[in-house]
Amino acid sequence: MKYCSVCMKAKKLEEFYNHRGRKDGKESRCSACASASARARRGTVEYREMAKEKYKNRTPEEVARQKEYFKTWSQNNKERIYTQKERYFNNMPAGVYGLYNKETQKMYIGQSQHMTKRKWRHFQKLKKGNHANKLMQEDFNNYGIDSFEFIVLAEMPKSKKGITPEEREHLLLLEAEVIVNYVLEYGHKDHLYNKIIPASRCSS
């Protein structure tokens, strides 16, 4: 057992980081306190500026070494990366969203089992100028990214391991219902970027 110099609690040696310069070969702080201190330090403006400067001043040898390290690590941890990505995406909310243009007052309505991921993809394609919706791409080019706002119109609970076929069907019906209600509110489809889903899809 060893006492942490920060939290003053007795903990197992496995809960301390290694330190070759100390007699017992362990840090004086436990790993939990050391991690908390590092997170607090990384959150400061001074640390971020220092990190940016260090990143800019990397030598070609350092860049090549880092690229080789991450390439090797990625190849040796494909299963771990895939599992982390799946867990991350499955924690994103599913539902119906809107991309609203504040200048033209037009809305694109869509659905996704990973709404945050879909938001990134929309703006990524718009920035590259290759979005499938030509009218929305044209307005993006004219008014810029600040004219568009991502809005969550309806959220839907889903299974932790991913969306099921039944949940997927419910999500499509929910999207249709939101689109039809939006059109009924304005009385015409001119306020939408996307095509109208037939009202028959909203029938239960």
Q: Which tokens is 165 given? A: 């076929």
Q: How far is CA 185 from CA 8, 174, 178, 190, 198, in A?
A: 63, 16, 11, 12, 16
What value does the mean pLDDT of the chain take?
Answer: 88
- Which pLDDT score is estimated for 197? 55
Residues 6+ apart with CB under 8 A from 116: 92, 93
pTM of the model: 0.60
Q: How far is CA 155 from CA 110, 151, 186, in A?
A: 12, 11, 23
- What are the tens digits of pLDDT across the range 137-183? 999 999 999 999 999 999 988 877 778 888 889 999 999 889 888 88
Residues 6+ apart with CB under 8 A from 190: 106
CA distance 168 to 95: 10
- Mean pLDDT (whole number) for 15-24: 91
Strand order of the sheet with strand 106-112? 106-112, 94-101, 148-156
CA distance 71 to 183: 50
Q: Which residue has the higher pLDDT, 56 or 204?
A: 56
pLDDT reading at 37 higher than 50:
yes
